[in-house]
Structure 1
């Protein structure tokens, strides 16, 4: 017989940031234990609680079957430093895997809207700027909104229909997010089975490959890339071999091995690049790292734009971004349009990597968990009492 229990209620914001959707949770409403946080996020997004289910439709949660819609942020507030502490979790619809390895720039753009809905807005965003420290990468981010509160200045981005609140996202000192160097192999170009690649780490570790060297045009649709088994095998070999050479670290600091890299749902990312077809500077098909992104991630776009700033990379062979007054701008063509990225740099030092996004709070409220584990049910009684006292 099934046990009976009262549902656990988890306060959350259901949001869209850039071209991603997911949830934002406040740490004060959650248990400290990582495994219990993961259980909560699995329930909310509707992914398997354990193991795999290839046919999962996420009917029992808020996820939308795509990688870009299975994202979660947990945020806390450092009142003394007047900044937000953000921790990002990536899920996938068919498995219970929760990855804490990388950050998400698109979803980061939703955090200022959440803060503007909280009493802490005046403390954290008096001038429209929000400082965020991301624990996945141990890096700082500045999100800026036009200072017209309580109104919003609206903006349009490719891949999103309509105009929504404008947020400008800038990664501070973004190199070495998960490795020890801007070009972590020590080379601008490496070769795998004769295929030239550039490995770079700006906001996220990424491998850049010219489409031509893979035997494709670079203008393929997602299904053409997904269903090309020979191409997928080439990319997997490159990911694993170069991932080892990059020395990519997991969140706990250990270096990823071959098995870790093959199974990872977050890193390293892959950018397949080609010459532009329209008014952009370079074309991308962005893998995250196994599925094709329908536009381009903020972190991945910043990474590719940075690679265009250094002569001798796979990217700069297609487009070299001249530096004007300390800034280089790269317009990246993708499946949804053209997105512009800005790199502020001096020599090998990158001060900021930036992009304009827009975001929405789709809904806020409580998610009901009807079948929690015994441990989660017990600990959440205490968390609920404690968080209610903090309100």
Structure 2
């Protein structure tokens, strides 16, 4: 067998040249950084280093991430074969009067060529403030010298929403060391407070895009909300599955992923995100399976979230914000499974596949969601030049 394999290899340089489908050329490169943000990682670009036309960004992003990859590993780039690692963030000078920087998020398909700008990433936004400071887009002089902290106001161009990131500063750069541990990430790091300002209506302009608290898709009750990202929530009991399935068990349950995607696409169309189910983007709406927690579990509700067709190993931050809001909507699928007495009076504690997360929500007298707050961690992993073919 080994000898047959050797016989198939080109024997001479000329044979090797003839077997190639293209002429060798040097790699392309750009300045870039790589950051962990919450339970995700992404390549970061300063927008000034990219082509002026956004339509020219896609081939660059696919090249550096390693998509499309029929093997699903993205081994030839910096992706990791799962949706939470197949991401690019672009940060530049602000075009919004209430922000210090603009932040554009791109979710990349793994086995396909998709470069999707239709959603925000709440985990990666935790790294935007540190990147802005580390890269000089937000100067150390703008930080609060007395408290050794910075507050960076971030304009997410995908949704038009504003996020305030507050984090410690050391020697003019974002601090990495600290005492905050988040489920899904080993060790501890510096705390980053994220305040999402008036996050409702991120894509549709409405908290309830279908104008109702409940809809029915494929015979399953669902609640559609738009907070930070459009989301749809269905109860595990209505699907006939356990609410505590692991990501692998969700993938391995026959027909479950297809059923969830059908519900998600119908919900997306009714929310006005596309003309029909077949043209609904892969990244929004997000979909989550919700259930009532076991007594003494230390959480108020349980979710198993999916992102870009894959079960999430934790919970996307934007999904957590939507859940915290939906839990207060009487008659919603989320409210129906949420414990009556919160385990922490400062917010809603959400159980996910890797642990839990506390989400604080501030509502106005009129019931409008004014702020949603979470704490995350992030750090710079490298900066330099990134190459692609």
Query: In structure 1, what is the equivalent of residue 203 of structure 2?
Result: 178
Q: TM-score with structure 1 length normalisation?
A: 0.85
- Which of 118, 121, 124 in structure 1 is aligned with 2:135? 118
**Offset at 1:245?**
1.3
Question: Is the contact made by 2:168 and 2:190 (CA closer than 8 Å) also made in structure 1?
Answer: no
Q: TM-score with structure 2 length normalisation?
A: 0.86
SS in 2 for 1:158: coil
Separation in 2 of the partners of 1:202 and 1:124? 30
SS in 1 for 2:182: coil
**Offset at 1:191?**
1.7
Query: In structure 2, what is the equivalent of residue 265 of structure 1?
Result: 282
Question: Is the contact made by 1:11 and 1:25 (CA closer than 8 Å) also made in structure 2?
Answer: yes
TM-superposition CA deviations, 1:323-380 (whole Å, max 9, x none): 9xxx9611001111111001111233111111100011111111123x3xxxxxxxxx
- Which of 143, 159, 170 in structure 1 is aligned with 2:165? 143
Question: Is the contact made by 2:96 and 2:155 (CA closer than 8 Å) also made in structure 1?
Answer: no
**Offset at 1:153?**
4.0
Separation in 1 of the partners of 2:260 and 2:95? 44
Structure 1 unaligned spans of 5+: 249-254, 372-391
**Offset at 1:29?**
0.7
Point out the more displaced range, 125-134 or 356-365.
125-134
SS in 1 for 2:190: strand
Query: In structure 2, what is the equivalent of residue 21 of structure 1?
Result: 41
TM-superposition CA deviations, 1:60-118 (whole Å, max 9, x none): 11110000000111110239956110000001221111000000010010112212313
**Offset at 1:181?**
1.3
Separation in 1 of the partners of 2:275 and 2:179? 41
State the aligned residue count: 355
SS in 1 for 2:321: helix
**Offset at 1:32?**
1.3
Separation in 2 of the partners of 1:75 and 1:272? 33
Matches within 5 A, 1:142-161: 142-146=164-168, 150=172, 151=175, 153-161=178-186
Larger radius of gyration, structure 1 or 2? 2
**Offset at 1:10?**
1.0
Query: In structure 1, what is the equivalent of residue 122 of structure 2?
Result: 105
TM-superposition CA deviations, 1:250-271 (whole Å, max 9, x none): xxxxx4422212xx32011111
Separation in 2 of the partners of 1:38 and 1:72? 10
Question: Is the contact made by 2:74 and 2:81 (CA closer than 8 Å) also made in structure 1?
Answer: yes
The answer to whether the aligner puts 1:368 opposite 2:384 as a matched pair is no
Question: Is the contact made by 1:321 and 1:330 (CA closer than 8 Å) also made in structure 2?
Answer: no
The answer to whether the aligner puts 1:72 opposite 2:88 as a matched pair is yes
Question: Is the contact made by 2:301 and 2:339 (CA closer than 8 Å) also made in structure 1?
Answer: no
Query: In structure 2, what is the equivalent of residue 333 of structure 1?
Result: 351
Separation in 1 of the partners of 2:228 and 2:157? 12
SS in 2 for 1:145: strand
Separation in 1 of the partners of 2:378 and 2:271? 33
Matches within 5 A, 1:232-251: 232-248=257-273
Query: In structure 2, what is the equivalent of residue 218 of structure 1?
Result: 243
Point out the more displaced range, 66-75 or 108-117.
108-117
**Offset at 1:178?**
1.2
**Offset at 1:322?**
7.7
SS in 2 for 1:272: strand
